[in-house]
Structure formats: structure tokens, C-alpha cells
């Protein structure tokens, strides 16, 4: 399809619970990126993949966050033992190249995670 599909749209977790977010990139896009949007306007890069390989994970808080992109499956972002500060909208984006060639990065509609 021509859209990046993120599920679920909303997720509520109690502090300490696990959260798992999914992202199906556009077919033919080799790169997948995860960003966290907090306080409405602040974006933080988390991790990127080139196909199933980690491309850049410099933004990942590794103690509790993990991510995978396996062949023939949606990519996933998992947060173990969620904290209140993890409350944010998590966006996934896909692209044909890491530079966002041709039509830029296509973003999904996001998953709003609320930790209570």
C-alpha cells in the first residue's frame, strides 16, 4: 500500500507494564525510522532500519526500549516497564533511502501511548 500503517492508534499502559507498537512500511521502502513526539512539538529520533538490519540506534534508550524489523512482518517497537515519561506519540516513517529521496519520508499516523 501507499501508506505507513501504525497500530494501535492509542495505547494505555500502567507504569511498569510492557507496550508494543507496530509499523508496516510502504512496500518497496527499505528504510524505517521511529520518532517520539513529546510535548506536542518536540521530536526525538529513536532508531532506524535498513530492511531488517539496524541502521542507526543512537537515539534508543536501550535499557527499556527494543525494536525489530523482520522479513514479512510489521516492524515493532517495544517498551519494557513503561514509565510516565514514555507518554508520547510514536511515529514510524519509511523511505526509499535514508536521505528521504523522491517523496521524502512517509509518516504513519502515529501511536499515542499514555502511561498512567
Partner 1 sequence: AQKVTQAQTEISVVEKEDVTLDCVYETRDTTYYLFWYKQPPSGELVFLIRRNSFDEQNEISGRYSWNFQKSTSSFNFTITASQVVDSAVYFCAHTGSARQLTFGSGTQLTVLP
Cα–Cα distance, 31 to 55 (Å, whole number): 8
By CB under 8 A, tell whether 45 contacts partner 1: yes
Of 91, 94, 113, 115, the one binding partner 1 by CB under 8 A: 91
Of 59, 87, 96, 114, the one binding partner 1 by CB under 8 A: 59
Of 1, 2, 42, 85, the one binding partner 1 by CB under 8 A: 42
Strand, coil or helix: what is 40? coil
Exposure string over 48-73, b if 16+ CB within 10 A, otherwise e:
bbeeeeeeebeebeeeebebebeeee
By CB under 8 A, tell whether 65 contacts partner 1: no
| Structural contact between residues 70 and 10, judged by C-beta atoms closer than 8 angstroms | no
| CB of 65 or CB of 105, closer to partner 1 | 105
By CB under 8 A, tell whether 100 contacts partner 1: yes
Joined together, the cell numbers standing for residue 85 give 515519561
| Structural contact between residues 108 and 7, judged by C-beta atoms closer than 8 angstroms | no
* Candidates 13-21, 67-75, 80-88, 103-111; binding stretch for partner 1 (CB under 8 A): 103-111
Joined together, the cell numbers standing for residue 43 give 521530536
What residues between 1 and 30 interact with partner 1 by CB under 8 A?
Answer: none
Binding site for partner 1 (CB under 8 A): 33, 35, 40-43, 45, 48, 55-56, 58-59, 89, 91, 93, 98-110
Amino acid at each position: 500500500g501507499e501508506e505507513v500503517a501504525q497500530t494501535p492508534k492509542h495505547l494505555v499502559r500502567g507504569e511498569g507494564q510492557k507496550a508494543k507498537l507496530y509499523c508496516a512500511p510502504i512496500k518497496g521502502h527499505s528504510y524505517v525510522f521511529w520518532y517520539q513526539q513529546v510535548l506536542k512539538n518536540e521530536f526525538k529520533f529513536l532508531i532506524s532500519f535498513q530492511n531488517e538490519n539496524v541502521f542507526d540506534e543512537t537515539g534508543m534508550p536501550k535499557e527499556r526500549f527494543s525494536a525489530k524489523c523482520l522479513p514479512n512482518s510489521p516492524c515493532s517497537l517495544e517498551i519494557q516497564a513503561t514509565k510516565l515519561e514514555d507518554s508520547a506519540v510514536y511515529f514510524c516513517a519509511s523511505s526509499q533511502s535514508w536521505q528521504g529521496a523522491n517523496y521524502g519520508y512517509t509518516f504513519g499516523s502515529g501511536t499515542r501511548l499514555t502511561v498512567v
